[in-house]
C-alpha cells in the first residue's frame, strides 16, 4: 500500500438491506505516522469488517470489530495500513444481526467473532479476497442480507417509535411515545434498551446531536441550530457536543474560506 491517506467508496444498500443498514463503505487508509481521531456518537451501530493492521479503539486493539449505540465519543488510533468495509447498522439491523439485547453492547466495542462466531472470519476472508471495491461492497451486501434475515424478527412498535423520534430530530418526548403506543414509561424504556441499547431520552440526545451537526455543516448559523434542535441555550449545546463528539459547534460550522472542510 504505497499511497498515503484515506480512500473510500460508498454504495447504497440493496432494497432488502435498506431497513437494516444506513451506510456501506469500502475504505483503505495508510498514514506516515499514527492518526488519532474522536469518533462521534451516531444513531446507529458501527460494524468494521477489516483486515490489515489492528486499530486502537478506546485503548484496545481490534481488526474486525463491532459495537452498539453509545452516548459518548470514542477515541480511535490508526497505527498502520488497513482496509475493509465499514457498515453502519440501524439499531434493528444490529439487533437482528447479533441476536442479543443491544443493552449488552451499549458504549462497547468487541471483536466481531465474539458476536458472530465463524461467520465473521468467513466474511472478512471473502472480503479480503475480493479486490474490486464495487464487488467487495456487493459481497458485503449479500452476506449481511442473508445473515440479518436469519436473525430474530422484531415486533413493529419500537421501530415505529424510533422512526418517529428520528423524524422529529429527537424532539419527541418519551411520554408522548409511550402514550401513542399505550405503554407505560417503564415498558417503553425496557423495549428501547433491548432493541436500541439506549433509553428513549438518551437516544433522542444522540439523534438531536446528529441533526445539529448536519445543519451546522450546511451553513446554518449556530444560534439558529440551537433553537431549531431544541437545545436550552448555546451553553447546553456546547456541553452536548463535547460529550457526544469531543468537539464544539464552532469547530463544525464552516467559516468563510473553509469551503466545508470542517469535520
Written as nine digits, the cell of 203 is 437516544
pLDDT at 1: 45
- Residues 161 and 183: beta-carbon distance below 8 Å: no
Q: Any residues with CB less than 8 A from the CB of 158 and at least 6 apart, and which? A: 92, 191, 192, 194, 195, 196
Averaged over 32-47, what is the pLDDT?
96
Strands (E) in the chain, as ranges, are 5-10, 21-30, 35-39, 45-52, 55-57, 60-62, 65-67, 74-78, 82-89, 109-111
In the predicted structure, residue 171 carries a pLDDT above the cut 50: yes
Q: Left if phi > 0, otherwise alpha if psi is -120 to 50, otherwise beta: which for 169?
A: left
Whether 135 and 189 have beta carbons less than 8 Å apart is answered as no
Q: What is the mean pLDDT of residues 176-180?
A: 97
Q: Which three cell numbers stand for residue 38?
A: 474522536
pLDDT score, position 3: 78
Q: How many CA atoms lie within 13 A of 16 on its CB side?
A: 12
Q: Check if the beta carbon of residue 201 is closer than 8 Å to that of residue 174.
A: yes
In the chain, pLDDT over 90 holds for what percent of residues?
94
Q: What is the pLDDT of residues 92-107, one digit of tens each?
A: 999 999 999 999 999 9
Cα–chain-centroid distance for residue 238?
21
Given pLDDT bands bounded at 50, 70 and 90, which one contains residue 254? confident
pLDDT in tens, 202-232: 999 999 999 999 999 999 999 999 999 999 9
Output the CA–CA distances (angstroms, integers) from residue 103 to 71, 108, 169, 196, in the order listed.
Answer: 12, 10, 22, 7
Distance (Å, whole) CA 88 – CA 69: 10
CB within 8 Å of 222: residues ≥ 6 apart: 216, 234, 237, 249, 250, 253
Residue 255: the pLDDT is 65
User: For the sheet containing 109-111, what is the strand order?
Assistant: 5-10, 21-30, 82-89, 45-52, 65-67, 109-111
Residue among 143, 148, 173, 147 at smallest CA distance from 161: 173
Q: C-alpha cell of 249?
A: 459547534
The C-alpha atoms of residue 194 and residue 196 are separated, in whole angstroms, by: 6
What is the residue-averaged pLDDT of the chain?
Answer: 94
Amino acid at each position: 500500500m504505497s499511497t498515503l491517506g484515506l480512500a473510500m467508496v460508498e454504495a447504497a444498500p440493496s432494497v432488502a438491506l435498506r431497513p437494516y443498514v444506513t451506510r456501506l463503505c469500502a475504505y483503505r487508509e495508510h498514514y506516515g505516522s499514527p492518526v488519532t481521531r474522536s469518533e462521534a456518537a451516531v444513531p446507529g451501530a458501527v460494524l468494521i469488517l477489516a483486515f490489515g493492521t489492528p486499530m486502537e479503539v478506546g485503548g484496545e486493539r481490534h481488526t474486525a470489530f463491532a459495537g452498539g449505540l453509545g452516548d459518548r465519543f470514542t477515541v480511535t488510533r490508526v497505527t498502520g495500513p488497513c482496509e475493509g468495509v465499514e457498515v453502519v447498522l440501524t439499531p434493528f439491523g444490529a439487533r437482528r444481526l447479533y441476536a442479543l439485547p443491544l443493552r449488552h453492547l451499549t458504549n462497547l466495542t468487541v471483536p466481531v467473532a465474539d458476536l458472530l462466531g465463524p461467520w465473521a472470519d468467513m466474511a472478512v476472508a471473502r472480503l479480503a479476497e475480493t479486490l474490486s471495491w464495487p464487488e467487495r461492497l456487493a459481497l458485503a451486501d449479500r452476506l449481511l442480507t442473508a445473515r440479518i434475515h436469519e436473525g430474530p424478527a422484531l415486533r413493529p412498535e419500537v421501530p415505529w417509535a424510533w422512526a418517529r423520534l428520528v423524524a422529529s430530530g429527537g424532539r419527541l418526548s418519551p411520554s408522548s411515545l409511550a402514550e401513542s403506543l399505550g405503554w407505560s414509561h417503564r415498558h417503553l424504556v425496557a423495549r428501547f434498551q433491548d432493541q436500541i441499547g439506549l433509553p428513549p431520552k438518551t437516544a433522542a440526545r444522540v439523534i438531536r446531536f446528529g441533526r445539529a451537526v448536519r445543519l451546522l455543516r450546511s451553513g446554518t448559523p449556530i444560534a439558529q441550530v440551537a433553537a431549531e434542535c431544541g437545545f436550552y441555550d448555546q451553553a447546553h449545546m456546547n456541553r452536548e457536543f463535547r460529550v457526544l463528539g469531543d468537539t464544539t459547534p464552532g469547530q463544525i460550522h464552516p467559516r468563510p474560506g473553509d469551503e466545508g472542510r470542517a469535520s
